[in-house]
């Protein structure tokens, strides 16, 4: 059996298996016995958890918490709102649309790690939202909508599908003349790096008019290992670029030091930071959420000027009308007819001439 399939079959999703890896606290045990929620991770990702620290940043993403039953701020039917599933345009279940030229194509609700902070919780973790994942319906809709250039394949985790299914999807999408790029959102480089097998590399490889891009999700420097580096290198060797979409998570990556280290370490394994997302107002994840300004402050205090421009993600909040950038805005301090006054990351001022139009 392939190592990645074995990882999934041995998913750490029972108390018994979890106890072999970490010292489960009485609270964790009570939560697992009480909450009816899908949870679990790969033995590989579980091995990165701190066996003794319940606040371990990986552990908090893996093990359910009673706080998930509290919901002061989360929106009811969040995904229906967010993915415009209740508006006029008729679309198959698998197509979520916010933009003119690109769509999200949801192909599965299965994941290698059931992230406790997932904004697709209703679909993936709680399973109260049921969608039909019909490739043919999706492909037909895309074929009929010639304004769509860019397909973001998402889930769940699309790289959990078999090689055959993924190859089929890629082939069908590449046959559509107006499709210019295919993107995958997958956490496998972080939670299941074994997925990038030689056979899978053959499917992704070779020059083609329509490139494949991957965005993964890494939220803490502890999630990055030698195996991550190898998986990303293998993807790049197939001509597939790898970016990161982190989620800003309270108590996990919302301090200056961790936030900087995360973005620096991503580059050491050739992952380019793309987005940092504000933790969305989905239900049951209040305890992961910070004030909105926090992400912009972290970019200002941890990244801009403090480390290379290659390490700078865009901070956004994903909404029903698309992603809204929330970047720090303190650089132009003053402007008059003669000059602009600019401020750098150390609070030092400089001036440059104001050129009239």
Ligand X SMILES: *Cc1c(COP(=O)(O)O)cnc(C)c1O
Rank residues 31 and 215 by Cβ distance to ligand SF4 and give the closer one.
215
CB of 120 to ligand X, least distance (A): 10
For ligand X, the binding residues in 10-49 under the rule CB under 6 A are none
214 binds, among ligand X, ligand SF4, none (CB under 5 to 8 A by kind): none
CB of 103 to ligand X, least distance (A): 6
Of the candidates 44, 38, 43, 45, which has an alpha carbon nearest to the alpha carbon of residue 59?
Answer: 45
β-pairing, 314-319 vs 272-277, is: parallel
CB of 8 to ligand SF4, least distance (A): 13
Options 97-105, 117-125, 229-237, 332-340: segment touching ligand X (CB under 6 A): 97-105
96 binds, among ligand SF4, ligand X, none (CB under 5 to 8 A by kind): ligand X
Residue of this chain nearest to ligand X (CB atom): 104
CB of 318 to ligand X, least distance (A): 6
Block residue for tokens 């003349």? 177
Position among 103, 224, 231, 326 found at the interface with ligand X (CB under 6 A): 103
Site string for ligand X, 299-328 (x = CB under 6 A): -------------------x----x-----
Residues in the chain: 357
Identify whether the C-beta of residue 79 lies closer than 8 Å to the C-beta of residue 125: no
124 binds, among ligand X, ligand SF4, none (CB under 5 to 8 A by kind): ligand SF4
Beta strands in the chain, from DSSP E residues, in sequence order: 95-97, 102-106, 150-154, 181-185, 212-216, 241-247, 272-277, 314-319, 322-325, 332-335, 339-343, 349-353
DSSP-based three-state secondary structure for 246? strand
Position among 104, 160, 252, 326 found at the interface with ligand X (CB under 6 A): 104
152 scored as a contact of ligand X (CB under 6 A)? yes
- Hey, what are 178's tokens? 């107006």
Block residue for tokens 């097998």? 197
244 binds, among ligand SF4, ligand X, none (CB under 5 to 8 A by kind): none
Applying CB under 6 A, what is the total number of residues that bind ligand X? 11
3-state helix, strand, coil in the chain (%, to 5): 35, 20, 45
221 binds, among ligand X, ligand SF4, none (CB under 5 to 8 A by kind): none
Rank residues 120 and 261 by Cβ distance to ligand X and give the closer one.
120
225 scored as a contact of ligand X (CB under 6 A)? no
Position among 18, 96, 192, 248 found at the interface with ligand X (CB under 6 A): 96
Position among 67, 71, 75, 99 found at the interface with ligand X (CB under 6 A): 99
Identify whether the C-beta of residue 265 lies closer than 8 Å to the C-beta of residue 224: yes
> For residue 148, what are the contacts with CB-CB under 8 A and spacing of at least 6?
101, 102, 103, 142, 178, 179
- Hey, what are 201's tokens? 């590399």
H or E stretch at 144: helix 135-144
Beta strands in 75-217, from DSSP E residues, in sequence order: 95-97, 102-106, 150-154, 181-185, 212-216
Question: Which positions lie near ligand SF4, rule CB under 6 A?
Answer: 111, 113-115, 118, 120, 124, 155-157, 187
* Residues forming the site for ligand X (CB under 6 A): 83, 96-99, 102-104, 152, 318, 323
């Amino acid at each position: 059996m392939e190592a990645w399939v074995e990882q999934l079959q041995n998913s750490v999703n029972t108390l018994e298996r979890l106890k072999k890896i970490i010292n489960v606290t009485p609270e964790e045990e009570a939560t697992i016995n009480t909450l009816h929620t899908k949870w679990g991770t790969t033995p590989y990702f579980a091995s990165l958890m701190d066996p003794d620290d319940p606040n371990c940043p990986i552990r908090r993403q893996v093990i359910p918490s009673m706080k998930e039953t509290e919901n002061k701020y989360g929106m009811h039917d969040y995904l229906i709102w967010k993915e415009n599933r209740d508006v006029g345009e008729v679309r198959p279940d698998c197509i979520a649309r916010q933009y003119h030229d690109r769509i999200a194509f949801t192909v599965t609700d299965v994941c290698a790690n059931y992230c406790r902070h997932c904004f697709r919780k209703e679909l993936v973790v709680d399973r109260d939202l049921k969608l039909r994942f019909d490739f043919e319906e999706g492909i037909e809709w895309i074929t009929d909508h010639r304004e769509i250039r860019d397909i973001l394949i998402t889930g769940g985790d699309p790289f959990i599908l078999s090689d055959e299914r993924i190859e089929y999807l890629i082939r069908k999408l590449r046959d559509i003349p107006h499709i210019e790029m295919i993107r995958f959102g997958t956490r496998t480089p972080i939670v299941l790096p074994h997925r990038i097998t030689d056979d899978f590399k053959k499917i992704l490889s070779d020059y083609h008019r329509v490139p494949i891009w991957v965005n993964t999700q890494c939220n803490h420097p502890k999630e990055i290992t030698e195996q991550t580096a190898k998986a990303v290198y293998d993807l790049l060797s197939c001509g597939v670029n790898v970016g990161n979409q982190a989620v800003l998570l309270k108590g996990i990556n919302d301090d200056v030091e961790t936030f900087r280290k995360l973005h620096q370490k991503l580059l050491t394994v050739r992952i380019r930071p793309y987005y940092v997302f504000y933790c969305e107002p989905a239900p049951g994840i209040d305890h992961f959420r910070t004030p909105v300004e926090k992400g912009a402050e972290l970019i200002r205090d941890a990244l801009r000027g403090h480390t290379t421009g290659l390490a700078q993600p865009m901070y956004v909040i994903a909404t029903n009308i698309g992603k809204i950038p929330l970047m720090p805005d303190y650089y132009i301090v003053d402007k008059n007819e003669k000059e602009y006054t600019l401020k750098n990351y150390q609070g030092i001022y400089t001036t440059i001439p104001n050129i009239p139009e």
